[in-house]
Structure 1
């Protein structure tokens, strides 16, 4: 994707208007906008913070934690996938050897 694929959108987060560019379309941008607004409201309700910059920083910390957790899960899933692939190859090899032994090949 290059800069020519980007379209401009207006979003509203926490009462502030922002212009954003994205190649993913308006539906995706609206989903991001709703998610960010929901998360901002949740942080506001669960904390005593009133400063928009403090709320944004706490939200950024929550997102960073979420991203790191997802990255660790992805590493675990990749490792599991490699293990399953290795086991599948060994099983197929064992079945092939058994099949060849039964046919005299």
Structure 2
């Protein structure tokens, strides 16, 4: 799925809303295979609900490819866990989550 960004560009997920729409409507697994430049890009793809991330350039071109591969593995795992856990809804206003009971006046 090269719609995240240009192949080999390392630009990351340029349009997460587009990717989310594709994931929602797809009847087959969705893999991001272009534009992943660092571990946070892989985590975002997985948080959005992708089934996997295919990468080459980000690892092969890294200063320390072994360390980058490990970072990517951890990011994919963390992103998937976050997706499965379910993020809180986005709001356009602040709302405190701390309980009012026991508050010092």
Work out which of the two has the higher radius of gyration on C-alpha atoms and give 1 or 2. Answer: 1
Pair in the same fold by TM > 0.5: no
Using structure 1 for the length normalisation, give the TM-score.
0.28
Using structure 2 for the length normalisation, give the TM-score.
0.28
**Greater RCO, CA 8 A, separation 6+:** 2
